[in-house]
Amino acid sequence: MSNLVVVTFEDESTAFEMRAELAKMQKEYLIEMEDAVVVTKDDKGKAKLHQAVNLTAAGAVGGGFWGMLIGFIFLNPLIGMAAGAAGGAISGAMADIGIDDKTMKEMAESFKPGGSALFVLVRKSTPDKVLERLAAFAGKGKVIQTSLTKDREDALREVLEKAQI
């Protein structure tokens, strides 16, 4: 079962920095994320989602491959690749994996313009090592929602919400 963690920040850049750090930890097998989305809110109050994976592009690449393969079978690989890429892009754009977009946009209404939030869906982790690496973000974020156990949520809050000395 995955756990959702939502952390807000006063600026836009810190959420992207934390997502990059989590991605590094994922490559080191310290954390396994199902989804990680940064939500920013511009000065006009409009929320924008910054997905970690561009599903439209991924769908186009996959569709292009299968279309080309089918095109080779019917001796017209270019038309097959174009049709496959178009179909893959459409299906990728319509797919929604991980955290629900509507939920993220609704939560974005609660933070002020110029701010951001990081929504992370964690499949599994090594909590002590992850918290140690997140210490660089001490005092920069505020945990607003989690589905972690009480002890783990308290540990995360302590790391992220304490002011640096």
Among residues 158, 163, 159, which one has the least CA distance to residue 134? 159
pLDDT tens digits along 7-58: 889 898 899 999 999 999 999 999 988 888 899 888 887 888 888 754 444 4
pTM of the predicted structure, to 2 decimals: 0.68
Domain tally, the chain: 2
Rounded to whole angstroms, the Cα distance separating 124 from 135 reads 19
State what percent of residues in the chain have pLDDT above 70.
68
Query: Tokens 């933070």 correspond to what residue?
Result: 111
Identify the domain boundary among 73, 94, 115: 94
Which pLDDT does position 165 carry in this prediction?
47
Continuous H helices in 95-149: 101-108, 127-134
pLDDT tens digits along 64-100: 555 555 555 555 555 555 555 555 545 444 444 456 7
30 and 82 share one domain: no
Residues 6+ apart with CB under 8 A from 12: 40, 114, 115, 116
User: What is the domain range of residue 17?
Assistant: 3-52+98-161
Rounded to whole angstroms, the Cα distance separating 37 from 51 reads 5
